[in-house]
Chain A
Amino acid sequence: MTTIQVHRLTKQFGSRRAVDNLTFHVRPGRVTGFLGPNGAGKSTTMRLILGLDRPTSGTATIGGRPYAAADHPLHEVGALLDAQAAHGSRSARNHLRALATSNGIGARRIEEVLEEAGIAQDAGRRVKTFSLGMRQRLGIAAALLGDPGVVLLDEPSNGLAPEGIIWIRELMKRLAREGRTVLVSSHLMNETSSFANHLVVLGRGRLLADMPMRDFLDTGNQPRVSLRTTEPDRLRTILARTGLTPVRSDEDRWSVEGTTAEQIGATAAREGIPLLELSDEQTTLEDAYLALTAREIEEESTASTTSPTSQET
């Protein structure tokens, strides 16, 4: 099985450091979400992994070797970087033929991936007549041509209609189940949480997090409970004794920070307070991500105040 290894990778564009000393691994058998705002360095990192850009320092390898040394490139790695890369004057089929032929992939496989991507009936049309969603499907078809063990997709759901987004989500999960290494970048939090098992989070070119999705959500926020009760005043008095403060979050709904449904449930039962509803609030990926970036900014400001000379050097 093939692992992508990024080691102390740095890419400088003029005075801008797009990728800053990145180290992380992408392992097979799971979908790794590559998360960060636009301009965080996700696409640059993918280009560096594929040997398209030259790193300023550091290395990126696939299965222990730089991609440029691959013997059977499309059988090892499939990638979608930019759905616009297909020349508008070529038919979709000819676009795939040109790619497939260079790697000795036959016509039958081309029809298979066209079918899989749901554009078989439009394959004879010129790419310039395609919608963004169809180009995206063509790009994914191209990535699947060589039945590769490693798949890199840069913002694959761009321009896709809802059913397309569901299709690509299920496809990525399936590829991971089949034991492939899947790295998918996105700047959309909720979408990423729907398919990724593992996260690599970038911010301004630097690694902010590299952990399983579950752990990332757990580190994100304090536990929080949402509840409804017929006796809010009594519950508030009782909870105040243990240092908890319910806050009204809705008409008759209360939210309590720093505790779990298990604890509140036990307390309420002991005191005989009727609860109409009680649940642990799920931390969303968005919450966890914002908490992470907030901590990051905090650390940065403390770092800059403790070392004021760093600006002068």
Chain B
Amino acid sequence: MTPTAVLHSEWIKITSVRSVRGSLLAILLSTVGFTLLAFATMSESDRAGNDLLAGAFTALNFGQLAALAFGATAMSSEYHNGALRLSLIAVPRRGLFYAAKTAVIGALALTIGWVTTFTAFLAGQALRGDQAIGLDHPGAVRACMGAGLYLALMALIATGLTALLRSAVAVLGILIPFTLLASFIFVDVSGVAQFLPDRAGQQLIHQNPTGSLGAWTGLGVTALWAALFLLIGWWSIRRRDA
């Protein structure tokens, strides 16, 4: 039982379930789709004065929901009718099992995340005519690379929480309202809001990041959140009856 074999096994598990493949693809389709929709319908005046770089990633909000759904469904398929028991009979070392599972989820989300951010950026700019910015625009490559990482981290947050709550529905019921609403509710109340996983990680799509967190430090904060949720998930997998 080698780590490579277990990684391969997790790859088969994740890619052989249609709903999981679907939510992975949804990261790309929703982000690119809403980017195109936004630029095709936005008037000149809407765009004026905006942060051009942040504008290019407006649809990231949709992509991150799909990323959460992917992380949650990829993990929750282990909690149907004792599937986890069967998985742990094949791979009784729970650390190896969990590490392989999260590695495959993270790698898939990152790959699709990067494809998504670069595609959305380039496709969106193609509709902007005169105002288009290219990858040579200051911060553009940083934003594309960082936003892809951000999507993968959001998927991992959902993965860790699913290992704790054992249900994708419960996880999405918590995380989706949280990412959609919390930032609005906490807006400018205090400096604390900027440390929320989505707020911190989205700093790097801004031309000039605001607040005390910089672009990469902000993503680092999101990474810390992901690490925290993955640890909570690991505790659950290791300690509880399967």
Contact = CB atoms under 8 A, between A and B. Distances in A.
Given A52-B241, A86-B83, A89-B17, 5 more contacts: A50-B89, A81-B86, A87-B17, A98-B13, A99-B90
Contacts of A87: 13, 17, 77, 80, 83
Interface in B1-48: 1-2, 5-6, 8-10, 12-13, 16-19
Given A91-B16, A142-B86, A102 B241 contact: no
A102 B9 CA distance: 5
A73 B82 contact: no
A102 B5 contact: yes
A53 interface: yes
Contact of A73 (B12, B13, B17, B92): B92
A53 to B, nearest CB: 4
Interface in B185-242: 239, 241-242
A81 B86 CA distance: 8
Given A97-B12, A101-B9, A103-B5, A82 B241 contact: no
Interface of A: 47, 50-54, 67-74, 77, 79, 81-82, 84-91, 94, 97-99, 101-104, 142
Contacts of B1: 71-73, 102-104
A79 B89 contact: yes
Interface of B: 1-2, 5-6, 8-10, 12-13, 16-19, 77, 80-83, 85-86, 88-94, 239, 241-242
28 contacts: A50-B85, A51-B88, A51-B92, A54-B239, A54-B241, A69-B92, A72-B1, A73-B1, A73-B90, A81-B82, A81-B86, A82-B81, A82-B82, A82-B86, A84-B80, A84-B82, A85-B80, A85-B83, A87-B17, A87-B77, A89-B19, A98-B12, A101-B5, A102-B1, A102-B6, A102-B90, A104-B2, A142-B86
A120 B52 CA distance: 58
A71 B31 CA distance: 44
A103 B96 CA distance: 13
A64 to B, nearest CB: 16
B91 A89 contact: no
B2 A81 contact: no
A230 B107 CA distance: 86
A90 B21 CA distance: 12
